[in-house]
Amino acid sequence: MKRISIVSAFAISLALGAIAAQAKLPPAPPMSDAQKAAEAEKAKAAAAKDAAELAKAQDRAVENYKKNKGK
């Protein structure tokens, strides 16, 4: 008897979980022009930082190559 109640409780919780998974979130509010500009500036700064880090890593690789093999 106890086993049946455990199995039925598990089945009910699975059903409720499936219903909750079907729920949709409301759409995000539209961004203002200021928010769009701030996000674009942030993305531009991140791209510049990534490019600088890549250049630095490439320079280190070249120096390492010259030091060890490119004599």
Reported as a single tens digit per residue, the pLDDT across 38-51 is 999 999 999 999 99
Which structure tokens are listed for 39? 């996000």
Q: Please tell me the pTM assigned to this model.
A: 0.53
d(CA 7, CA 4): 5
DSSP 52: H
Q: pLDDT for 3-30, tens place per residue?
A: 777 878 777 777 777 676 677 888 889 9
